[in-house]
């Protein structure tokens, strides 16, 4: 009985610290970016915005911004414009859940599932588009 009580007390003490460290969500089970991940993406982008992976497609329009909303499926053009997120960026975001991946489409980091459905997007620049 003492072992169980000690275990419960330990969990009660450690759980808030663990949640604070992970931003309140499991690093392997998230389906939306948390604040820490958004900041990590912005920091990475600020230091690496000249990388070709972040180049805005020439055919980009403001209509494309609406296609990067939760629940939208990437169309053929969006899939063509998407690139796997650089390894260093993925490391800073944390591994996506099983069946998901991080892609970069211009100045956007997008969490998509295996069916190319958008679950979340970080818009790294304001007023993008032509």
Query: Quick one: 65 and 10 in the same domain?
Result: no
The CATH number of the domain holding residue 104 is 3.10.450.160
Is 94 part of any domain? yes
Alpha helix ranges (H) inside the chain: 2-21, 35-48, 62-66, 76-81, 87-93
Domain membership of residue 64 as a residue range: 31-123
Is 105 part of any domain? yes
Query: Quick one: 70 and 40 in the same domain?
Result: yes
Query: Quick one: 43 and 103 in the same domain?
Result: yes
List, for residues 12-66, the tens digit of each pLDDT value: 454 444 444 444 444 445 689 999 999 999 999 999 999 999 998 888 888 888 8
More confidently predicted of 120 and 61: 120
Q: Tally the residues of the chain.
A: 130
So what's the pLDDT on residue 39? 97
Euclidean distance between the first and the last CA atom of the chain, given in angstroms as a whole number: 67
To the question of pTM greater than 0.75 for the whole model, the response is no
- The structural domain count of the chain equals 2
Query: Quick one: 4 and 38 in the same domain?
Result: no
Query: Quick one: 71 and 15 in the same domain?
Result: no
């Amino acid at each position: 009985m003492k072992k169980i009580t000690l275990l419960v007390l330990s969990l009660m003490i450690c759980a808030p610290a663990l949640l604070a460290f992970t931003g309140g969500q499991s690093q392997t089970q998230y389906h939306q970016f948390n604040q820490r991940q958004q900041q990590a993406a912005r920091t990475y982008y600020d230091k690496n915005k000249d990388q070709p992976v972040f180049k805005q497609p020439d055919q980009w329009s403001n209509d494309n911004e609406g296609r990067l909303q939760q629940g939208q499926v990437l169309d053929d053009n969006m899939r063509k414009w998407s690139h796997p997120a650089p390894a260093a960026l993925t490391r800073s975001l944390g591994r996506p859940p099983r069946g998901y991946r991080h892609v970069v489409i211009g100045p956007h980091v997008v969490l998509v599932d295996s069916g190319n459905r958008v679950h979340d997007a970080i818009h790294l620049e304001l007023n993008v588009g032509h």
